[in-house]
Structure 1
């Protein structure tokens, strides 16, 4: 029986054994497996989502700045009651480099069909309304979103970016990392020996080799190039519970183009 794990950074979540289950990528201050440290602010829509504990804030997930007052992230990152803030212009979580902007979250909008106990149904997407609009500059830019319904071809070039684990259960690092993860088409990803019926056509699979997302990357972008521009085609969701970069278990993302209408309705 397959098991999967969500990629956020609050606590390692291995869900009950029912259907094939993922692991969310939300746990601990960790980053992309494989890949390389990104050039600072080269993904200027990447944000760090942080929660308050005592007097301090801690990174738990990534996200994408899609309007000056709105962030897109994963539902599983924010389906608990916490005090949240977003950091834009971030690169090294352990130092203030003067480019960061810190903004509190005034409201969380989780997709109404999201159910943490039925991960493979999808809907792992949320919008965060910021208390103030951020300032756009050389280090902070808005993400380009794909047109509604667009599906990328097999092996389309994409990059994951995030602060997740560098290896399964491995060391932590504060610098933003990136890794090349080509798209795995739905027919392949949903076939026997891959993810099977654990993935829906509202998801995007990418990678499946030595590089992958891992805990701490949840909610962050899958950045895919089309016509010389990068578009955020995926929201990082889950990997195999056995290993972040298990062969033929690509990192799974919420497919952004399946939710354009829902997001436009929320943001108005």
Structure 2
């Protein structure tokens, strides 16, 4: 009886912790001159790994939005491959003791997504995990923005992942970050920017001297809300055939607030959307 009671108390004590989205235990360093990540300061960032031969390797990023659901890019999903989701990671080359390895049982791309036309939009997918994650100080949820929410021009967000920092450099073993400004759609769709390649269901970030680079598809665009929580306002979609950090060719993210209904339909158990969020007119983190 005592063991049963202790188990019940443990579950009850962790329940409130589990669903506190967008509030990392280890606070990120928001120095815009540094790409270094405070270990585990983005605890919803996951590594989506594909099996090649007998081993797995990092392919895409993703964000934990529910105990059993991962948000990533549609381009990251190939039905013929075997995947695992790795949570609680900082250094991809080390066993850190905080990891959880969970295989997805469902991989659902948006029905309008066309892998042969990434710029056509709808580059979004949901992965259902085989079992719920066990929440720790290094594994937590991010929040989803309110439906229709659009970030103002020059709003500073943080891109995270294990992608290249420059075109000629290697992929890092440790998670990296970059503070990047949002570029409003009217600018990003100009002929000398991305022109008609960007839709209003996308978010452009960077494009002046720094962007997210190769290896970042599916990784979250983390934006700080006026309520003091972090939100996944986008997932990495494309940078085109241009080298990393090309001027006027910002990284393009799928805008999550354009797909709240679809996310709710696919993962009705999710209760992480906070509808009363308002982003400030500008943000200098």
TM-score range, shorter chain: 0.7 to 0.9
Q: Give the C-alpha shift of residue 37 in structure 1.
A: 1.8
CA distance in structure 1 between the partners assigned to 2:162 and 2:236 by the alignment: 12
Taking CA–CA contacts closer than 8 Å with sequence separation of 6 or more, which of the two structures ends up with the larger relative contact order? 1
Q: Over aligned residue pairs, what C-alpha RMSD do you find?
A: 1.1
Aligned residues of 2:210 and 2:246 also touching (Cα < 8 A):
no
Q: Give the C-alpha shift of residue 143 in structure 1.
A: 0.8
Q: Residue 118 of structure 2 aligns with which residue?
A: 119
Which digits, 9 at most, give the CA deviation of each residue in 1:53-80, with x for residues without a partner?
1221100000000001110000000134
Q: Residue 198 of structure 2 aligns with which residue?
A: 199
Matches within 5 A, 1:167-246: 167-227=166-226, 228-246=228-246
CA distance in structure 2 between the partners assigned to 1:80 and 1:166 by the alignment: 29
Q: Residue 248 of structure 1 aligns with which residue?
A: 248
Which digits, 9 at most, give the CA deviation of each residue in 1:194-225, with x for residues without a partner?
11110000000011122211111110000011
Matches within 5 A, 1:13-28: none
CA distance in structure 2 between the partners assigned to 1:165 and 1:196 by the alignment: 25
Aligned residues of 1:209 and 1:247 also touching (Cα < 8 A):
yes
Q: Which moved more, 1:166-175 or 1:119-128?
A: 166-175
CA distance in structure 2 between the partners assigned to 1:132 and 1:35 by the alignment: 36
Q: Secondary structure at the match of 1:222?
A: strand
Question: For the pair shown, which has the larger CA radius of gyration, 1 or 2?
Answer: 2
Q: Residue 145 of structure 1 aligns with which residue?
A: 144
CA distance in structure 2 between the partners assigned to 1:240 and 1:85 by the alignment: 27
CA distance in structure 1 between the partners assigned to 2:169 and 2:156 by the alignment: 27
Q: Residue 262 of structure 2 aligns with which residue?
A: 262
TM-score by length of 2: 0.80
Which has the larger share of helix? 2
CA distance in structure 1 between the partners assigned to 2:174 and 2:244 by the alignment: 19
Stretches of structure 2 that go unaligned for 5 or more consecutive residues are 1-32, 269-285
Matches within 5 A, 1:33-52: 35-52=34-51
Stretches of structure 1 that go unaligned for 5 or more consecutive residues are 1-33
Equivalent pairs, count: 235
CA distance in structure 2 between the partners assigned to 1:109 and 1:35 by the alignment: 35
CA distance in structure 2 between the partners assigned to 1:45 and 1:117 by the alignment: 29
Residues 35 and 211 from structure 1, CA distance in 2 versus in 1: closer, same or farther, beyond 3 angstroms? farther
Aligned residues of 1:203 and 1:253 also touching (Cα < 8 A):
yes
Q: Residue 68 of structure 1 aligns with which residue?
A: 67
Aligned residues of 2:118 and 2:238 also touching (Cα < 8 A):
no
Matches within 5 A, 1:154-169: 154-169=153-168
Which digits, 9 at most, give the CA deviation of each residue in 1:80-105, with x for residues without a partner?
42111001110000001111111111
Q: Give the C-alpha shift of residue 35 in structure 1.
A: 4.8
Q: Which moved more, 1:131-140 or 1:197-206?
A: 131-140
